[in-house]
Structure formats: C-alpha cells, structure tokens
Amino acid sequence: MTQVIAFTMLETALYTRNPVKLISLIGIPVILLVLMGGIYGNVPDASGFGMIDRSLTGYIGMAVAFAGLMSLPLTLCQYRERKILKRFRATPANPASILASQLIVNLFITLAGVLLLLVVGKIVYHVRFPGNWGFLVLAFLLCSAAVFALGFLIASLVRDTKTANAVSFVLYFPMLMLSGATIPVNAMPSAMANVSKALPLTYGIDLMKLAWTGAPVAKGFSDLVVLAGVFLGCSAISALTFRWE
Amino acid sequence: MKVIEVEDLRKDYGNKVAVDGISFDVRKGEIFGMLGPNGAGKSTTIECLTGLKPRTGGKVKLLGLDPERDRKALYRRIGVQLQETSYQDHVKVAEICRLFASFYRKPLASESLLKRFGLDGRKNAAVQSLSGGQRQRLSIVLALIANPEVVFLDELTTGLDPQARRAIWACVRDLKDEGRTVFLTTHFMEEAELLCDRLCIVNGGKVVALDTVSSILVGSGIDSVVTVETPASPEIFHGLSGVKRADAKDGRIVVHGSGRRFLGGIVQALEASGADYGELSYKKPNLEDVFLSMTGTSFVQ
C-alpha cells in the first residue's frame, strides 16, 4: 500500500511538470462547456432543463473517456516500451503498484477537470442539479472504472505504443460521438443506436444522466450491471495478459 | 561459498535458442564476468538468473533460492542494473532514488551513494539531463540502494567514452572491496581482463571457456610473440625457458613462446650476446586471440 502511495505521489508530481498535458486534460471538459454554452446557452425548455443541464454529464463522460482511453493506455505502453516497467520488476516493488498509481493519478486529474466543469457550469450557466450527489458520485466512479479498465485492456493486449494509440483513437472517437454525450441516443437512427449500445461509455453517461435528473437508483440498474461487467471482464483479461516488456 | 549456481541453463524464444546449456558457479565476493559478442546469450542469462524471464530448462540457484519462485525474497538482497533502462519523464535524480529506497526495509542512504559516485551535484537535476556516464552511475546507485549481497550489471559501459568507462570500472572494484559479489556481462575484452576474477566466455549460447582470466590466457596455448630488430642470430634464444621457436626475417628476429621468464630471458640473452638491438615489441595473447582460436570467428566489437 505504501508503494502505491509512493508511486502515486511521484506520478502526480511528474504530471504537474507537463503543463500542456495537465491543462488539456483538466481543461477539455470546460472548453467544451464554454463552446456549447456559447452556441446554445442554458435557457430551460419545456422539460425545465436547458441544453447545458442535459449535456453536462456527457462532458463528464468525455473527460473520463479521454483519460481512460487516451492518456492511461498511452502512458502504460510508453513505460513498457522504454523498459521502465522492466526495471521496476527487478525490485521488491509490486509492479501492479505502478499500474494502480497510474489509475489513481488519471482519476484525480479527471476529477479535477470535472470539478472545474461543475464550478464553471454553476457560475456561468446556472446549471440545475435536482439529483442526488451520492448517486452521481457512484455513477461517475462506475463509469470511470469501466472505461479505465477498457484502457488497461488496450495496454495489455496491444504490444507497441503506436498501435495502442491507433486502437485508442478508433475506440475514443465513436464513443465521443455515439455514446449520448453529444447526440442523445434516442435521436439516433437505429444503426447508430445499435453501435451506441455496444459502447461502455453509453451506459456510464446514461447512469450519470439518471443521477443528475434525480431519478431513483433502481432505474439505473441495467447500466450498473453493464458497467460492472465491463469493469470485471476487462480487468480479468488484463490481469492475465498484461505484458511487462 | 557459492552464491550463484547455474546448471545446464537453457532459454528458447520460440524457434530461436538464446541460451543452450550454460553451466557455471559464482563464488562469494568475486567479480564474475560473462564475455561474449552480441547475441551470445548474455542478457538472456542475466534475466534468467534474476527471475525476469522464465527459463526453458536447467537449474539456477541464487543465494540458495530459485529466482523464479522466490523472486520477492531475492529482490530484497540483490541489485540489478539492466541495459537500456530509462526512467519516467521529468523525474529528478533525488526523486527516483527516494522511490527506490521506499522499496526496501533497510536501504542504503541515497545521499551518500550519490556523493560516492559523483552525482551529488546533480541530485535535483532531471535524469534526462544526465550524460551517458552519469546515467550509468545512477543505475549503479539504484542497484546499490538495496544494499545488495549480489549485484548484476548488464553491459555497464556500452556507449561510454573511455574516461567514463574507467570511472565505472573503479566503481565496480569498490563493490568488491565492500564484500559484494558482482556478476557482470560485457562484450569488451579489456573490461573483462581488467575487472574480472573469473570469466566465462560465451558464444552462440554456449560456454567456450570458464576460468580465471590468466588461466584462460595461459591455458589457451597461444604464444606470446617478441619481435626485435637485431642482426644477431636466432640461435641465441634457442633453449631458453619458454621459447618455442625463433626465426630471423628482414633484420628482425621473431620469437614465439610463453611463460613468466619469456620476455626477461630474451632481453638477458640479447644483452649477453653483445649484439646490437633496437626496438622490442611484445605481444601477449589476449582474450580476442583466445576467442578466435576457440570459435574460429573473430570477436566483432
């Protein structure tokens, strides 16, 4: 446990030395918010919610996807390719500690971005949140768990960094477009909607939407099951196939 | 006391055989070297010895333990310096030392280690900004933080300039003075000759020679050669201790032979003969000659 803490503290300090990466990770959701807010505003319609109210969870989902599918696998693959992981294997440190620390750091940074998003959303666009904080936090964590586990899977199965990057791209952009973050799923033609159902992020965003709008937890049960399943499945396969070199 | 025991080690990568039945022992407190050209199986051997790769066959005992089964216990007692290692971007020297120190119950103080290896002034510098020689010294520091009984060094001076190389050799000798056992791999003959108490020469995954450096050289049967410019007759050298033959050619005499008194005897004989003589050149057999005579191929450095 102390090893995980030691690694996490170091990895966090290292992140802060890469300001471009840090700012883009924390800033992406907010930039999106400001862009969309500038175009659509947040005037409530008949349902009582404005465009931003309805989309905020989508932006959170996008932040999670970026961290989990782009940042996380890329870093792990780079560490492997540069033989950093191999070096740590030759010590008493449990190499899983490095993996855990990467997970934690990416989660922290996503959280920072999300908090910034919520603060700006409240102050600038007066977002309405009739939901339950506990439910929202749970939904966020589950969504992150599933997407990050998918990121781990990419890093486990794909050998070199270039290919991992390509795979991440191929998964990330459809998730962005089709998971309900930008276009609501029920507005999609059936072919697109079917693809949407195959993406883990769709269920994460849906769950967060339910939390946001104050729906009862029970309504999100199927989302919960899918997310937990993705998390467990991806984690199990990663644990068996992750290559240290 | 045997610190490392290797019996018939084998390692395959699919169809490729990297290590093909290597056996040797390493005694406590010695500097043991594995010398061979690139592709001879040196790095693979180190990785099998330290449990980083599973072996295909054979037995390995390190400090009495099995490197594959008892890895965690072993890593507390050994230090490893790998080829081509790098560290996280932007990490500082002191930070990576601190991280490594956190892995061990009783680590050596990294401050004093950095000082000892001349890196004290660079402790707040980014590891990326270190020179090649400094980076290799850092990797020794990190291997030593464990206060290891056995230190594994894989091609420690590859890519370094001669000055940096000599600095590292001095560091390695210090390790022996501290009572640590050192296992190193190299493809530099000079390094093997200067550093190693005992040496194992490998080629194509097999052991070609295994003994102390001087025994390998003497036992190879390769002659030393003395060439001297002199009008004297080669007969003055006949019957001297260690001389095998002496031939005259173009105003020079070329003498082949071996032994402790070889060179001295030749000089004495020259003096005693009263003949005029000029430059003397003396070529002792080196490991390159040994490798060539044993494998029929030259050692490409």
Query: Which chain A residue has its CA at the smallest distance from B78's CA?
Result: A91
Q: What is the pLDDT along chain B (301 residues), one digit of tens a residue?
A: 899 999 999 999 989 999 999 999 999 999 999 999 988 999 999 999 999 999 999 999 999 999 999 998 999 999 999 988 889 989 999 999 999 999 999 999 999 999 998 999 999 999 999 998 899 999 999 999 999 999 999 999 988 889 889 989 999 999 999 999 999 999 999 999 999 999 999 999 999 999 999 899 888 889 999 999 998 888 888 888 889 999 998 889 999 998 888 989 999 999 998 889 888 999 988 898 899 888 888 776 5
Q: B206 is written with which tokens?
A: 């097999």
Question: Is the CB of B183 inside 8 Å of chain A's CB atoms?
Answer: no
Q: Do A10 and B89 touch (CB under 8 A)?
A: no
A227-243 core/surface letters (b: 16 or more CB in 10 A; e: else):
beebbeebbeebeeebe
Q: Edge-to-edge strand order for the sheet containing B2-13?
A: B16-27, B2-13, B57-62
Task: Provide DSSP, B135-181.
Answer: HHHHHHHHHHTT--SEEEEESTTTT--HHHHHHHHHHHHHHHHTT-E
Question: Looking at residue B54, what DSSP letter applies?
Answer: -
For the CA atoms of B232, B234, B239, B243, the dihedral, rounded to the nearest 10 degrees, stands at 120
Q: Tell me the shortest Cα–Cα distance from B104 to chain A, in angstroms.
A: 7
- Residue B121 DSSP class: G
Question: Which pLDDT score, from 0 to 100, does residue B301 have?
Answer: 54
The CA distance from B64 to the nearest CA of chain A, in Å, is 18
pLDDT at B79: 96
- Banded model confidence at residue A50, pLDDT cuts 50, 70, 90: confident
| List of long-range contacts for B290-296, beta carbons under 8 Å, 24+ apart | B290/B201, B290/B209, B290/B216, B290/B217, B290/B220, B290/B222, B291/B201, B291/B203, B291/B208, B293/B220, B293/B221, B293/B222, B294/B201, B294/B203, B294/B208, B294/B209, B294/B220, B295/B203, B295/B208
**What SS3 state is found at A57?**
helix
| Dist. CA A171–CA A70, nearest whole Å | 9
If phi > 0 it is left, if psi is from -120 to 50 it is alpha, else beta; for residue B250 that is left
**Single-letter residue type at B42:** K
User: Model pTM greater than 0.90?
Assistant: no
Calculate how close chain B gets to A199, using CA atoms only, in Å: 32
Examine the pLDDT at A181 and tell me if it is beyond 80: no
**ipTM of the prediction:** 0.84
Residue B260's Cβ-count burial label (10 Å; 0-12, 13-18, 19+) is exposed
Q: What is the largest CA-CA distance in chain B?
A: 72
CB contact under 8 A, B52 and A87: no
pLDDT tens, A182-214? Answer: 777 778 888 888 888 889 999 999 999 999 988
Q: Do B285 and B224 form a contact (C-beta atoms < 8 A)?
A: yes
Asked whether A4 and A88 are in contact (CB, 8 A), the reply is no
Among candidates B88, B91, B103 on the partner chain, residue whose Cβ is nearest the Cβ of A91: B103
Question: How far apart are the CA of B146 and the nearest CA of chain A, in angstroms?
Answer: 9
Contact yes or no for B79/B144 (Cβ under 8 A) = yes
Q: Which chain B residue has the Cα nearest residue A13?
A: B91
A123: tokens are 């102050």
Beta-carbon separation of B85 and A86 below 8 A: yes
Sort out which chain A residues have CB atoms less than 8 A from B107's CB and list them.
none
Residue of B nearest to A97 (CA): B103
Residue B5 CB-density burial (10 A; 0-12 exposed, 13-18 middle, 19+ buried) = middle
A166-177 residue pLDDT tens: 999 999 988 888
CB contact under 8 A, B75 and A83: no
What 3-state class would DSSP assign to A236? helix
Is A241 an 8 Å CB contact of chain B?
no
Does A9 contact B at CB distance below 8 Å?
Answer: no
Indicate which of B52, B87, B99, B128 best probes the interface with A, i.e. most A CBs within 10 Å of its own CB. B99
What is the strand order of the sheet B206-212 is part of?
A: B78-81, B150-154, B181-186, B31-35, B198-203, B206-212
- What pLDDT is stored for residue B151 in this prediction? 97
Contacts of A13 in chain B (CB under 8 A): 95
What residue of A is the nearest CA neighbor of B52?
A90
Among partner residues A14, A79, A82, which is closest to B90 by beta-carbon distance?
A: A14
pLDDT of residue A12: 92
User: In this complex, is the C-beta atom of A190 within 8 Å of any C-beta atom belonging to chain B?
Assistant: no
User: Does residue B21 sit in helix, strand or coil?
Assistant: strand
User: What token pair was written down for A159?
Assistant: 């050998």
Q: Report CB contact under 8 Å: A92, B76.
A: yes
Q: Is B101 in the A-facing interface, judged by CB distances under 8 Å?
A: no
* Sign of the torsion angle spanned by Cα atoms B38, B39, B43, B45: negative
Q: Which of residues 68-127 of A touch B (CB under 8 A)?
A: 79, 82-84, 86-87, 89-93
To test the contact with chain A by mutation, choose from B89, B100, B110, B128 the residue with the greatest count of A C-beta atoms within 10 A, namely B89
By the 10 Å C-beta count (0-12 exposed, 13-18 middle, 19+ buried), A93 is classed as: buried
Q: Looking at residues A145-172, what average pLDDT do you find?
A: 92
Please give, rounded to a whole number of angstroms, the shortest distance from the CA of B288 to a CA of chain A: 32
